[in-house]
């Protein structure tokens, strides 16, 4: 093609396609460099030890930040040169800077109602527990709710029974909760207070008896039915906002910038986070820890207020598939060494476990599954094979919590 200008005939320069491609790429690189160079950081941190996690250069002197993004890391001179007149400059004086830590498994709750007694440690004897309860009951009006945490020594002692609680604290509702906390011992007054159906068989994912084999109520409860009682026991929300604020501030002091909260009632926690207004990022995972008799509770996904959208999400779901070894409750393939008659329990029957997995796939919700012991983990892996095994689950995030084995 010929072009004419002012009567002068000119010929365009002819370039090969490969030369055009190279020039176009170079222009793109130059444009990206200029655009990046024009970004002025809000904050720079200099004169420190910045841990990058990169093998070739694990530590640098300085870092530039804009909003929630890291713009660059490098020497003090390199990073200082990116600063503008309004950039905040922080001299680290040699201190270490690391990426923010994620606290990946957090439970947070209110304070206990009634009178809480201290048995002096995690492993009190049954005799000591009964003595402390008797002394506390003498000081309290009849009808007081009295509770305290015990360990396996008192829990498995044949002398620690609901009848013994009635004897030392007649007329009072008494609850002994295992510090795990997956099991408890209640006298009849406490059962009535917390609405236990003492004439019914155990609800779904629940067990009665110290050996988990009782077919009817006997005052010793595990898992779902117990956690519902424990929630009601730990329900004094008088100082809960201040308690949560203090907890999040304490996390931040250790370098935690994001946490995962397992929540029975995420709607309440979202409302509370609106009040507390912490800068930490919070992932709320719905956790239907107790079941509605013969049916599973469904996870709840409340909306997050606009002012929290940059920090708070409600995603995934958590389920308890078993307890733990403290109460000889988690499902083991072999009997417990200190009780050859017991190998624990898997909370959900196989069909229910398969339904949990299929629902998570259908709704694309990442699963966090409390599976402590080997028989429970084996049951889980077997059911994961049904929808397609590794081929399917490699595309979906599934996490085993407390996989002690």
* 193 and 262 both lie in a single domain: no
Flag whether 110 is in a domain: no
Task: Encode pLDDT of 89-141 as tens digits.
Answer: 999 999 999 999 999 999 998 999 999 999 998 899 999 999 999 999 999 99
Flag whether 121 is in a domain: yes
Place of tokens 């002819």: 14
Its pTM stands at: 0.83
Residue 88 belongs to domain with CATH number: 2.30.40.10
Assess contact for 228 and 264: CB atoms under 8 A: no
pLDDT of residue 397: 87
The contacts of residue 226 (CB under 8 Å, 6+ apart) are 181, 182, 183, 184, 206
Place of tokens 């709750």: 109
pLDDT of residue 19: 54
Residues 316 and 285: their CA atoms lie apart, in Å, by 6
Residues 272 and 276: their CA atoms lie apart, in Å, by 6
Neighbours of 46 (CB within 10 A): 20
- Where in the sequence is the domain holding 275, given as residue range(s)? 240-401
Assess contact for 248 and 312: CB atoms under 8 A: no
Instruction: Give the chain's residues under pLDDT 70.
Output: 1-38
Token pair belonging to 144: 């007081």
* 86 and 21 both lie in a single domain: yes
* 268 and 358 both lie in a single domain: yes
* 360 and 268 both lie in a single domain: yes
* 87 and 126 both lie in a single domain: no
**DSSP letter string, 12-55:** PPP--HHHHHHHHHHHHHHHHHHHHHHPPPSEEEESSEEE---S
* 293 and 168 both lie in a single domain: no
Residue that terminates a domain, selected from 184, 211, 233:
233
* 283 and 225 both lie in a single domain: no
pLDDT of residue 16: 56
* 179 and 261 both lie in a single domain: no
């Amino acid at each position: 093609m010929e072009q004419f200008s002012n009567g002068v005939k000119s010929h365009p320069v002819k370039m090969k396609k490969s030369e055009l491609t190279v020039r176009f790429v170079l222009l793109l690189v130059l444009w990206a460099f200029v655009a990046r160079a024009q970004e002025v950081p809000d904050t720079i941190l200099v004169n420190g030890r910045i841990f990058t996690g990169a093998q070739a250069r694990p530590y640098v002197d300085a870092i530039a930040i804009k909003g929630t993004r890291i713009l660059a890391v490098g020497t003090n001179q390199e990073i200082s040169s990116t600063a503008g007149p309004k950039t905040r400059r922080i001299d680290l004086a040699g201190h270490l800077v690391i990426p923010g830590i994620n606290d990946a498994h957090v439970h947070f709750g209110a304070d206990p109602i009634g009178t809480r007694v201290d048995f002096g440690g995690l492993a009190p004897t049954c005799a000591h527990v009964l003595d402390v309860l008797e002394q506390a009951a003498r000081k309290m009006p009849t009808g007081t709710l009295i509770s305290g945490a015990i360990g396996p020594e008192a829990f498995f002692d044949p002398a620690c029974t609901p009848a013994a609680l009635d004897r030392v604290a007649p007329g009072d509702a008494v609850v002994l909760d295992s510090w795990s906390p997956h099991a408890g011992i209640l006298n009849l007054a406490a059962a009535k207070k917390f609405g236990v159906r003492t004439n019914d068989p155990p609800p779904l994912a629940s067990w009665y008896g110290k050996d988990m084999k009782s077919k009817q109520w006997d005052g010793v409860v595990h898992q779902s039915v117990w956690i519902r009682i424990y929630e009601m026991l730990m329900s004094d929300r008088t100082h809960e906002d201040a308690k949560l604020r203090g907890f999040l501030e304490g996390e931040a002091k250790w370098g935690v910038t994001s946490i995962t909260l397992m929540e029975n009632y995420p709607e309440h926690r979202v409302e509370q986070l609106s009040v507390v207004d912490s800068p930490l990022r919070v992932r709320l995972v719905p956790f239907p820890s107790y079941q509605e008799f013969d049916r599973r509770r469904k996870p709840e996904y409340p909306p997050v207020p606009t002012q929290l959208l940059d920090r708070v999400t409600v995603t995934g779901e958590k389920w308890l598939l078993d307890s733990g070894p403290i109460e000889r409750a988690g499902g083991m393939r072999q009997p417990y060494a200190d009780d050859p008659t017991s190998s624990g329990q898997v909370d959900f029957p196989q069909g229910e476990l398969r339904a949990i997995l299929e629902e998570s796939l259908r709704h694309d919700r990442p699963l966090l599954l409390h599976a402590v012991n080997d028989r429970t983990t084996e049951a889980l892996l077997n059911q994961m094979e049904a929808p397609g095994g590794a081929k399917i689950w490699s595309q979906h995030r599934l996490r085993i919590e407390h996989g002690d084995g």
